[in-house]
Amino acid sequence: MLFAIDVGNTNITIGLFDGEKLEKTFRMTTGVSRTSDEFGVFLGDLLRMRNLPLEAVDEAIIASVVPNIMHSLINGIKKYFKINPLIVEPGIKTGINISIPNPKQLGADRIVDAVAAYHLYGGPVLVIDFGTATTYDLISQDGAFVAGAISPGMRLIANALWRDTAKLPEIEIKVPETVLGKDTISSMQAGVFMGYIGQTEYIVKRMKDESGYPNMKVIATGGLGKMIYENTDCIDVYDPDLTLHGLRIIMEKQK
């Protein structure tokens, strides 16, 4: 079995694969300092919850945008599972041609999303990952990563709104009933959410127009992606497990 581990700025998402089947997903917070033993025990407990021995996992792959936890995470896997995890980094075989001037600048999470989107949905395809930051990445019809855009995620925008103003409160991110807010909280929710819908639709339209791929597929993933997908027509598919499947596909390509 395979541990596919996506280390994001906010959460660490772990997928347990049996072949191509995603058996279970788990999440833990990223912003907590953990030792290698803590990582190893946590991952072992995930298996015990499914009545599986540690030996059931014989492969692991990690994509990370948070370098300072990697030493403990990697050593935890080595110590408890006796395997060396594969790290998604420049030079790894992915099946995607990175056609930008400096491929080493491309984050591991974006590479993995691109691999999954192209492999599962074909090209040309635009994959949008609604995470701490929102990334828009364009993969051509022949499987080349050709361009992208990055914007602050919806939570970052909401947090900045209440943190950097004197009287605006912290709000829950939710879909407002109307853009016509009647009080401070509903007005903030309307501005944050509806504004983000507008950003998404505009960037998708411009990417279609400027790329010459007016009919390309648009795939969304990430924690807040479902809310956006359900409230716009510019996204074709919401796939919450896209990144984990991308990790699985990359692992298979190494063989």
Residues involved in catalysis = 109
Q: How far apart are CA 225 and CA 56, in angstroms?
A: 32
Tell me the backbone φ, ψ of residue 140, rounded to 5 degrees: -75, 175
The verdict on whether omega for the bond into residue 240 sits within 30 degrees of 0, i.e. cis, is: no
Identify whether the C-beta of residue 184 lies closer than 8 Å to the C-beta of residue 166.
no
Separation between Cα atoms, residue 201 and residue 42, nearest integer Å: 40
E strand or H helix that includes residue 201: helix 184-211
Written as one string, the DSSP assignment of 157-186 is HHHHHHHSSSSPPP------S-SS-SSHHH
- Strands 86-87 and 59-64 come out as parallel
3-class DSSP state for residue 1?
coil
* Vertex 60: Cα angle to 237 and 18 (nearest 5): 60
Starting at the edge strand that comes first in sequence, how are the strands of the sheet with 86-87 ordered?
Answer: 21-29, 11-18, 2-7, 59-64, 86-87
Nearest to 119 by CA among 131, 129, 127, 107: 127
For residue 24 the two structure tokens come to 């279970």
